[in-house]
Structure 1
Amino acid sequence: MANDSEEATPANSPETQEPLFLTLRGVPRHDGPPAGEPAYVRDPQGAWRPLHGDHLYDIEAECVRLHDCFAAALFGDIAAYHKRLPHVLPFIWEAGLNSESTLSRDAFEQALVQHRELPDLNRLLYLYDCRKLVAGIQECTKEVCFLVGEFYRALNLDELFYPPIAEPDGVRWVTSPVVTSLTATLNVIYIRLHSLLDYTTKLVHEIEHLRADFSTYPKLSSSNILFGDRRRTGWGEAAGTLFEPGEPVTEIELVRNLVIHDGLLDDMPKVYKVVQDGRAIEKFVLMPDRTDGRFDRFKNRTLFYS
Structure 2
Amino acid sequence: MCRTIWDFIVIEDRDAAAVNEIGVTTKPYASWNEIKKMLAKFDRGWIFRCQRYADWSLQTSLETWKKNNWGTKDRTGNLILEQIEEGILLKEFKREANNYFSSSCQKPGNTLEWLALMQHYGCPTRLLDFTYSPYVAAFFAFDECYNKNGAIWCVNADWCKERSVQKYNKEFHKEIKEGKKEEITILADFGKEETFQDFWKNPKALSMVFPVNPAHANERLAIQQGVFLCTGSSQSFKGNIDAMSEGENHYLKYILKIVVSSEARKEAIVDLNRMNINNATLFPGLEGYAKSLKDKFWIEGSLGTSYN
How high is the TM-score relative to the length of structure 2?
0.25
More strand by percentage: 2
Larger-Rg structure: 1
Q: Structure 1 length as normaliser, TM-score?
A: 0.25
